[in-house]
Amino acid sequence: MTHKAAAGAWLARVRRAAGLTQTDTAWRAGITVRAYQAIEAGRHPTPKTLQAIATALGLDLACRRHLDRLIHPPRTAPAPPPTEHLRQLLAHINAPAWVVDPAWTVLAASRSAPVMPANLALWAIDAAAKFDDWHRVSADLVARTRSTLSWYETPGEPVPAVIAAVRAASHAAELAWSAGHVADVPHREVLAFEGRPLTLHWATLGNDPSARLVVVTGADPRHASGGTRSPATQTAAPCPPSPATAP
């Protein structure tokens, strides 16, 4: 599938999740139904038309960035920094931390990181029963992994394979995928693992998600109940809004 076709397919998912027909969306965007149908089929829209469609569908900033990247991928393929550079970075972090690629494959780990499988997403699937809020964790995992697909002309097979594995392991993740959810900003959130609240910190190293930093620390006592997102995290919620991943 070309990126333009992928953009059209994603728009169709978002539109259906919003309960809109092609006619509804075209009317809201101020274009003809035939023009909108052509865009969902893979035609390249003008920037003005793309903006109008994004507004018609109520897309937030993360979704708008994702749509722009689907049509104009910023990178050819993932290009993580040299492993030695990542190890030097992690040497200064006194907490369990990992650097992962777009498919969540571990590129480097801190000295405090426990021994884990080579892929954090696949490990999370295996440990699903230990998360108190697996449905939210898995839906967010799909939304964040999907956002990496739009960065590259050729993201590689591991990314779609990981998405498929998470979708197969969680109904909430499948719903999030079907609704077109995307999340792409650095954030922190508190979740409960084996009944213990932990804080996950996520950040992208560099200008694209070729390398992402994941750090685990103790929970802020103010959010010790687990499953709480900080104000900075609110912008990381999947888009568009949907009851699909609600508790």
Banded model confidence at residue 233, pLDDT cuts 50, 70, 90: very low
Say which amino acid occupies 137: V
43 contacts: CB under 8 Å, gap ≥ 6: 4, 8
136-173 pLDDT, tens digit per residue, is 999 999 999 999 999 999 888 899 999 999 999 999 99
Is pLDDT above 60 for 14? yes
| DSSP label at residue 105 | B
Place of tokens 């109008």: 52
Look at residue 50 and tell me whether its pLDDT is greater than 50. Answer: yes
Which residue, among 63, 26, 71, has the nearest Cα to 240 in the 3D structure? 63
Cβ neighbours of residue 221 closer than 8 Å, sequence gap 6 or more: none
Predicted pLDDT at 82? 93
pLDDT at 237: 43
Does the pLDDT of residue 226 top 60, yes or no? no
Per-residue pLDDT band at 128 (split at 50, 70, 90): very high
Task: Give me the percent of the chain exceeding a pLDDT of 70.
Answer: 86
Instruction: List domains and CATH numbers for the chain.
Output: 3-58 (1.10.260.40), 83-245 (3.30.450)
* Res 113 pLDDT > 60: yes
Query: Is residue 188 very low, low, confident or very high in pLDDT (cuts 50, 70, 90)?
Result: confident
Which own/partner pairs from 35-40 qualify as long-range (CB within 8 Å, at least 24 positions apart)?
39/8, 39/11, 40/8, 40/9, 40/11, 40/12, 40/15
Instruction: Kindly state the average pLDDT of the residues 201-229.
Output: 73
Cα atoms in the Cβ-side hemisphere of radius 13 Å centred on 92: 5
Strands, sheet with 212-218, edge to edge from the N-terminal-most edge strand = 106-109, 97-100, 212-218, 196-204, 187-193, 228-229
Contacts of 125 by beta carbon, 8 Å cutoff, 6+ apart: 138, 165, 166, 169
Using pLDDT thresholds of 50, 70 and 90, give the confidence band for residue 1.
low
